[in-house]
Amino acid sequence: MSASGNPLIFRKGLDRKQEVALQLAEDYHSDLVAAIKRDGFIYSAGRITVHLAREFGFCYGVDRAVDYAYQARVRFPDRRIFLTGEIIHNPHVNDQLRSQGIRFLSDPGESADAVTRDDVVILPAFGIALDVLETFVARGCTLVDTTCGSVLNVWKNVTRYAQDGFTAIIHGKVKHEETRATASQALKFPRGRYLVVLDKAEAGVVCDYIRHGGDREAFIARFGAASSPGFDPDVDLVRVGCANQTTMLMSESLEIGEMVGAAIADRYGADARPQHFRAFDTICSATQERQDAVTALLDEQALDLMLVVGGYNSSNTCNLARICADRIATFHIADPECLISADEIHHRPVGAPSTTRGREQTTRGWLPPGRVTVGLTAGASTPNNIVGQIIKKLEEFCR
């Protein structure tokens, strides 16, 4: 609690950056990956050649969030520290934080009800919903806000939509922490509304309703859990603005925006479109860079297969896998332990619902005999040491 009686909120670090730098390097750096980058993102050993995408792994927002969590542990060594949930979607990183005594309110046996004004609460890179934030503010606990700047940019536009009476149509996963937090921003103003669409198919249903109207009750039943309280499509789809979960597939987010804009123009006329439709570029630059880089890798190199590394509940990692799987045999793996042998791999089926390790499948004969060329990328929440360990395992398999 600050001297003014307001909760103490850290948003720009905790003045312990130098103190945690060595520990962060020990936990997440890879000399091997650094060397491969210097050598043109190519590594050859035995019968295997690995091509790394030129952008992969930790993005700035993830790096910052993890850094702040480490700083919090050093700054408050004798206080209980809680995370509202996973700081990022990477099991290795989250387990590292647990090992430092940072408790996750999403873990079994934990509860936000136990948090007091003497505790420290870290808000994850995805951000948290406004009502959850207000609960912690009311408790008076110290807050460490690691919300990514790209997420904040989306919030700014969603808030502007709400202020002007536009419904935010959000391309995202309705149960994802970031999308829930973004949707809550639309409720800052009485006229604020939101509707979450998962993909082009759901966006198509919305566009049909915009153009022609339809069965109001059926629409509400379909999108009830993905819409703001009291959502009425006959009223709330008249003026709309598009936004997105920052880790979604960039091309799909842009296409959904075009679909909605076209539906509005068909309903109200091209001249009236500005009065009924808004869209801003809310694609995360890091997400776009990683998607562009893996596309370039597929275009430029003759590969036998792709490995995509990252948490199974990591949206940006799943979308990298989707891009690759459209063009080449692709395996989405969570960590080095998924590489069992040159014959056996455990992986998440591309396109399967985001879930835990329990939904892995096993594939045999995944690594071709003879000389083999593997493409490798990693989601924005995957540290370099994990990538380095995977490359070393591939080398062992191909001696």
9-22+60-148 and 40-58+286-397: same fold? no
pLDDT tier, 7 (very low <50, low <70, confident <90, very high otherwise): confident
**Token digits of residue 316:** 């940006």
pLDDT of 138-196, one tens digit each?
999 999 999 999 999 999 999 999 999 999 999 999 999 999 999 999 999 999 999 99
Asked if 36 and 43 count as a contact pair (C-beta separation under 8 A), the reply is: yes
CATH number 3.40.50.300 given to 150-282 = no
Pick one of 3.40.50.11270, 3.40.50.1000, 3.30.930.10, 3.40.50.10190 as the CATH number of 9-22+60-148: 3.40.50.11270
Rounded Cα gap, residues 134 and 150, in angstroms: 22
121, β-bridge pairs: 82, 143
Q: Residue 281's pLDDT is what?
A: 76
**Token digits of residue 42:** 């190519």
Within 10 angstroms of residue 369's Cβ, the number of other Cβ atoms is: 9
Matching residue, tokens 């020990």 = 26
pLDDT at 68 over 90: yes
- Domain ranges for the chain, please list them: 9-22+60-148, 40-58+286-397, 150-282
pLDDT of 223-275, one tens digit each?
999 999 999 999 999 999 999 999 999 999 999 999 999 999 999 999 999 99
Average predicted confidence (pLDDT) for the chain? 95
Of 348, 359, 281, give the one whose Cα is nearest residue 321.
348
Which CATH number is associated with domain 40-58+286-397? 3.40.1010.20
Question: Which residues, at least 6 apart from 243, have a Cβ–Cβ distance to it below 8 Å?
Answer: 154, 157, 158, 161, 168, 169, 170, 171, 182, 280, 282
pLDDT of 346-381, one tens digit each?
999 998 765 445 589 999 999 999 999 999 999 999
Q: Residue 351's pLDDT is what?
A: 85
Q: Which percentage of the chain shows pLDDT scores above 90?
A: 94
From 55, 86, 177, 178, active-site residue: 178
Q: Concatenate the DSSP letters of all residues of 51-89 into one string.
A: EE-SS-S--HHHHHHHHHHHHHHHH-TTS-EEESS-SSS
Rounded Cα gap, residues 115 and 97, in angstroms: 18
pLDDT of 83-132, one tens digit each?
999 999 999 999 999 999 999 999 999 999 999 999 999 999 999 999 99
Rounded Cα gap, residues 279 and 289, in angstroms: 21
**Token digits of residue 229:** 């309280």
pLDDT at 60 over 70: yes
Asked if 224 and 152 count as a contact pair (C-beta separation under 8 A), the reply is: no
Stated pTM of the model: 0.92
Matching residue, tokens 């210097």 = 38
Helix residue spans in the chain (DSSP H): 17-28, 31-38, 60-75, 91-99, 130-139, 149-163, 177-185, 200-212, 216-223, 233-236, 250-268, 273-276, 285-300, 315-325, 384-397
| Residue 178 appears among annotated catalytic residues | yes
CA distances 101 to 78, 80, 95, 96, Å, are 11, 8, 10, 9
Q: Residue 356's pLDDT is what?
A: 47
